[in-house]
Structure 1
């Protein structure tokens, strides 16, 4: 008979030793399938980006040459935190900008402004300035095609309003602070957005070309 130390009378079996082992807790696995994932592909472009993408489509397909006008600025002060980098710290606008876009379509000069609002039933006139109205009047006087693209973001509706109607309203209704949407719907054209091009405004410009 064997003498076991500390009063143990037998060798522990496999079953008994298993109870002496420290149990390692299983790694917690998240089973929450209700968490919402961010759908990055559904993030929409802003109105200006959609117009720029539309113009790129027109250019690449040889349909029109329309570009966004650069804003003229005068640089006053530049810092150089590194030799290879320059940082503009002070600048001002050299002159008031006219409209956002200009170009050529089927031999016609095209000039237009793009505006967006969160309002549902009116478009604020504060978005337009006197020098822009004068500029569009000058374009029309030279038989150019001028218009404004108006986007109502809240109701997701986009309209092309010929500049002649904008100018008339601006001159005759100076006491009002906004253009009612019913005026825009009556005098303008609704643009049905597509995937490509996103804002097919040339379909309406074709109608404006017919009256020139």
Structure 2
């Protein structure tokens, strides 16, 4: 099936890498993407009445459909109706939650080319309205997860747009982000880290042991 963006450009999906585990918490987590892990975590939150957070559906306009059999239909071409914004949103303790989930195979930095201008504009607008906006970034080869508040991310985005480095280094993540340690259930208790963002300004180095 061919899927195209609103401007007609062909959509090429990003290949997701496998996981290299430091600690084998569960055989069921092997090979799962960050999106899968977050979906499972959100289901845990929902079942326990903690939060209502879901993956946003992707709006697609179907253009061509083939019917190889009477009882079967195959979509052969489709377009994104509108540019995507962020991956997840919902409500937690009366606060609007909106975030983007990204993975990188690199063990040293996260490339900013994986993020689009319209996504940053959306996150900026939500932040200005008082929403809780952030990135969850997974270094797949290291099996390390970080939450990056939008306010912290913004300066690195501006650095790139003014001719600077086009990535955020792992060392910079360790200094300005909150690392999430995976557990059994929920897999990624990211709301515990988000609570630190909401309550008070934090020092990432001092608070790593709290998450």
TM-score bucket of the superposed structures, by smaller chain: 0.7 to 0.9
Q: Which runs of 5+ in 1 are unaligned?
A: 1-39
The aligned runs of 1:42-191 (5 Å cut-off) are 43-174=30-161, 175=163, 176-191=165-180
- The Cα of 1:128 is off from its aligned counterpart by 0.7
Structure ranking higher on relative contact order (CA contacts 8 Å, 6+ apart): 2
Aligned alpha-carbon RMSD (Å): 1.6
Q: Which runs of 5+ in 2 are unaligned?
A: 1-26, 202-211
Q: Which residue of 2 aligns with 1:4?
A: none
- The Cα of 1:136 is off from its aligned counterpart by 0.5
- The Cα of 1:207 is off from its aligned counterpart by 1.6
Farther off after superposition, 87-96 or 132-141: 87-96
Residues 62-114 of structure 1, C-alpha deviation per residue, up to 9 Å, x if partnerless? Answer: 00000000111110011222222221111111111000000000000000000
- The Cα of 1:168 is off from its aligned counterpart by 1.8
- The Cα of 1:41 is off from its aligned counterpart by 5.3
Q: Secondary structure at the match of 1:75?
A: strand
C-alpha distance in structure 1 between counterparts of 2:174 and 2:197, whole Å: 16
Give the direction of change, closer, same or farther, for the CA distance of 1:143–1:74 in structure 2 (3 Å limit).
same
Q: Secondary structure at the match of 1:173?
A: helix
C-alpha distance in structure 2 between counterparts of 1:41 and 1:160, whole Å: 24
C-alpha distance in structure 2 between counterparts of 1:81 and 1:70, whole Å: 27
Size of the aligned set, in residue pairs, is: 173
The aligned runs of 1:189-208 (5 Å cut-off) are 189-208=178-197
C-alpha distance in structure 1 between counterparts of 2:29 and 2:59, whole Å: 34
Report the TM-score when normalising by structure 1.
0.78
C-alpha distance in structure 2 between counterparts of 1:172 and 1:118, whole Å: 22
Give the direction of change, closer, same or farther, for the CA distance of 1:98–1:42 in structure 2 (3 Å limit).
closer
Residues 114-161 of structure 1, C-alpha deviation per residue, up to 9 Å, x if partnerless? Answer: 000110111001111101110100010000000000000111111000
